[in-house]
Chain A
Amino acid sequence: MARFVIRRLLQSAVVLLGVTLVVFLLLQLVPGDPVRVALGTRFDPQTYEALRARAGLDQPLAVQYFDYLRRALTGDLGVSFRSGRPVTAIVLERLPATLSLAVTAVVFALVVAVPLGIVSAIRSGSLVDHAARVFSQFGVSVPDFWMGIMGILLFSGVLGWLPPSGYVALTDDPGRWASHVALPAVTVGLVTASILTRFIRSSMLEVLSEDYVRTAEAKGLRTRVVVSRHVLRNALIPVVTVVAVQLASLLGGVIVIEVLFAWPGIGRLTYDAVAARDYPVLQGAVLLVAALFLLVNLLVDILYARLDPRITVR
């Protein structure tokens, strides 16, 4: 187990190094001078020189990268071309909004997908099973932002139950937070639920065909006992991975939904940084999301190895 953890840690470190290189090179891909492009009509020589020096753009490329890496390791991701504030602080400020949306969406997805996936597998071929399969096909094909727009039309425009957009912090007013998070979380959560439903169904079907399940049934155990004691435990192990990967991708992948619902998270920050050509903020947001993505994957692999020891020897 220890060797497995060390190997995965080293692999993740190498990939993270590659991620920093890609994020660093993004700035080099900007046609022309990124500082001049970012300043646009607000150009003045003093600000220009100060920002160039602060971003280290007057140094050779290799020096710039190692300097970027050294500073990133100490949590310094540079300063915003627009506001002059530290990028790390700007990005971290947006994390709670994204986190609250992602976690709510995943919880909603689990509430829908776990019972649906289980019933669909146990009653394979039934009406519920067909409905679950239609639902999962719908979920993987529908653009979430379209569903969001239709949600705004129905629940805000027609019924007037929920606000069309905006954000209230959970710590400020839990009730208003819930009314604001409901639409974006359900929009994102339905897509996640459809993916999980299909995965839980196939995982359950695989375990249901195992010999030990047949043995348990042959012993005369009731279906409920067989499912809860023998099938669920084993079938849900791989689901842990999918849930975590979904959560990780939601942390950085809900740009469109955050823009649509004016949700001030990392996605919205990325969008604003692109619009304002604030490249250090864009780099910081992308780096943080990729690092979080890697971290979650690493933790899941370790957790998975704990739950299923066969993994470490594969």
Chain B
Amino acid sequence: MSAQTVNREGQLRRVLAVLRRDPLALTGSLVLAVLVVVGVGGSWLAPSGINEVNVDQMLEPPSWAHPFGTDELGRDVLSRVMIAARVSLQVGLVSVGIAIVVGVTLGLFAGYYRGWLDNVLMRCMDVLFAFPVLLLAVAIVAVLGPGLTTAMVAIGVVYTPIFARVTRAGVLSVREQVFVRAAVSVGASDLRIMRRHVLPNIAAPLIVQTSLSLAFAILSEAALSFLGLGVQPPDPAWGRMLFDGRGFVTEAWWLGFFPGAAIFLTVLAFNLVGDALRDVLDPRQLTVSEARRSTA
């Protein structure tokens, strides 16, 4: 068993220990587990169809039959909130996935090769950082056309620079380590060194950043959907449901309350887990607020 494997097992044990010790992190993990179950099995678990219009039951307040009430078309809000969980998870995972693949690759090359490549790539990242996150996402979706796919691409693009920066910072310190120089001296190729020696050793900050970025990606998707630029009707999305419900806010509070509460709980859960992971894996990493500031 290699030293690296032992180290990783140790980290996993520490993460599990912290989750057991920290009630907030444990609650966050449980909320995320429920979210995944609802997201994957929403269509089977939802009490009604998401587009089952019932004009006899328009704007009904929460009751046993409809725990989250009904909307202006008599549709069951609980079912729509449950099905929309899948959209949020999907957008979060795909957009952060795009940001990780592109950002980590760019950060690896920039940090490993340094020189002009590092300069060019990092100045490009600085340019993307010069735009407020939501504004750039809105602009990208506006030109590509609204929809789930473009929203995921746009959010992926705006979160790429943070991954590039975190990766590059990690690579800069790891590339000076003895084991990297040893790998160079035995003739290992650059790609092999990056994949086998550098990447595993900068995984901790990347895992933390992923958890925090998932939270912000879900918030960004909700904002885009609220603006009508994300998921298109009649498919449900939490942000879109909030937008549609705002016109009825004074007469049907449940239309605004439940979808917003779902976004809040999801983002909170990712943040709590992200904070706990940071404490274990990378105490020097940014706090949630700093991460948000740096991506704002």
Could you give 9 example pairs across A and B, Cβ below 8 Å? A18-B130, A19-B131, A22-B128, A22-B131, A137-B268, A141-B271, A242-B293, A252-B131, A290-B132
Tell yes or no: B3 within 8 A of A by CB: no
Query: In the complex, A194→B288 CA distance in Å?
Result: 11
A141 with B293, Cβ < 8 A, contacts A29-B144, A146-B256, A249-B132 known: no
A213 to B258, CA, bound (A): 48
**Residues of B contacting A242 in the complex (Cβ-Cβ under 8 angstroms):** 293
Identify A260's interface contact among B130, B229, B246, CB under 8 A: B246
Known contacts A29-B144, A31-B144, A253-B296, A157 near B250 by CB under 8 Å? yes
Measured between beta carbons, the chain B residues less than 8 angstroms from A290 are 130-132, 135
- A202 to B288 alpha-carbon distance, docked (Å): 12
The yes or no answer to A199 lying at the interface (CB within 8 A) is yes
Scan A197-208; emit 1 where CB is below 8 A from any B CB, else 0: 011001000000
Do A253 and B135 touch (CB < 8 A)?
yes
Q: Closest 3 A-B residue pairs measured CB to CB?
A: A146-B260, A18-B127, A157-B250
Q: Tell me if A293 and B246 are in contact (CB < 8 A).
A: no
Contact residues on B (Cβ < 8 Å of other chain), bracket: 35 or more
Taking a contact as CB atoms under 8 Å apart, the answer to whether B290 and A199 are in contact is yes
User: Which of the residues B126, B222, B256, B287 comes within 8 Å of A18, measured between beta carbons?
Assistant: B126
- Asked if B123 is at the interface of the complex by the 8 Å CB criterion, the answer is yes
When chains A and B are docked, how far (Å) is the Cα of A57 from the Cα of B141? Answer: 21
Q: Flag A16-47 by CB within 8 Å of B: 1 or 0 each.
A: 10110110001101110000000000000000
Given known A18-B123, A143-B260, contact A293–B142 (CB-CB < 8 A):
no
Report the Cα distance A144→B261, complex, angstroms. 12
Contacts of A289 in B (CB 8 A): 131-132, 135
Tell me, yes or no, whether A312 is within 8 Å of chain B by CB.
no
Q: Mark B140-166, 1 if CB is under 8 A from A, else 0.
A: 111111000000000000000000000
Q: Are A245 and B296 in contact (CB under 8 A)?
A: yes
Contact assessment for B264 and A146 in the assembled complex, using a CB-CB cutoff below 8 Å: yes
Residues on B with C-beta less than 8 A from A259 are: 226-227
Report the separation of the CA atoms of residues A26 and B134 in the bound assembly, to the nearest whole angstrom.
Answer: 15
Q: With an 8 A cutoff between CB atoms, is B272 at the interface? A: yes
* Bound form: Cα–Cα A27–B144 in Å: 10
- Chain A residues with CB below 8 A from B250, complex form: 152-153, 156-157
State in angstroms the CA–CA spacing of A202 and B256 once bound together: 35
* A150 and B256 in contact, given A202-B287, A255-B134, A255-B227 (Cβ under 8 angstroms): yes
- CB neighbours (8 Å) of B177 from chain A are none
A286 contacts chain B at the CB level, 8 A cutoff:
yes
B287 touches A137 (CB 8 A): no
Which residues of chain A are within 8 angstroms of B139 by Cβ–Cβ distance? 26, 270, 282, 286
Q: How far is the CA of A246 from the CA of B289 in the complex (A)?
A: 11
Partner of B134, one of A31, A142, A256: A256
Cα-based distance from A16 to B127 in the complex (angstroms):
7
Q: Is the CB of A146 within 8 A of B242?
A: yes
| Least Cβ–Cβ distance between B171 and chain A, in angstroms | 20
Contacts of B130 in A (CB 8 A): 15-16, 18-19, 290, 293-294
Q: Which of A26, A145, A194, A199 contacts B242 (CB 8 A)?
A: A145
Interface residues in B100-146 by Cβ distance below 8 A to A read 123-124, 126-128, 130-136, 138-145
Query: Is A195 engaged at the interface, CB distance under 8 Å to the other chain?
Result: yes
Q: How far is the CA of A286 from the CA of B219 in the complex (A)?
A: 21
Q: Of residues 231 to 264 in B, which have CB atoms within 8 Å of A's CB atoms? A: 239, 242, 245-246, 249-250, 253, 256-257, 259-261, 263-264
Determine if A107 is an interface residue (Cβ-Cβ < 8 Å).
no
**In contact, A149 and B271 (Cβ under 8 angstroms):** no
A260 to B223: give the CA distance in the assembly, Å.
11
* Alpha-carbon distance A132/B226, docked complex (angstroms): 29
A-B contact count (CB 8 A): 158
A92 close to B (CB within 8 Å): no
Asked if B249 contacts A149 (CB within 8 A), the reply is: yes
Q: Does A81 contact B (CB under 8 A)?
A: no
Whether, in the assembled complex, A140 has its beta carbon less than 8 Å from a beta carbon of chain B, the answer is: yes
A177 within 8 A of B: no
- Residue among B127, B134, B138, B263 making CB contact with A146, cutoff 8 Å: B263
Chain B residues with Cβ below 8 Å from A294 are: 130
Complex: A288 Cα to B136 Cα, angstroms: 12
CB-defined contacts of A249 to chain B, threshold 8 Å? 132, 293, 296
A14 near B: Cβ within 8 Å?
Answer: yes
Task: Chain A residues near B253: list those with CB within 8 A.
Answer: 153
Which residue of the partner chain B has the closest CB to A286?
A: B139
State in angstroms the CA–CA spacing of A271 and B132 once bound together.
Answer: 15
B32: interface (CB < 8 Å): no
Q: Contact between B127 and A143 (Cβ–Cβ < 8 Å)?
A: no
Q: Which residues of B contact A152 (CB under 8 A)?
A: 246, 249-250
Interface status of A274 (Cβ within 8 A of chain B): yes
Within the complex, the shortest CB–CB distance from A134 to chain B, in Å, comes to 10
- Quick one: which of A125-174 are within 8 Å of B by CB? 136-138, 140-143, 145-146, 149-150, 152-153, 156-157
CA distance A21 to B130 in the complex (A): 12
Residue A143 contacts which of B141, B227, B263, B292 (CB distance < 8 angstroms)?
B263
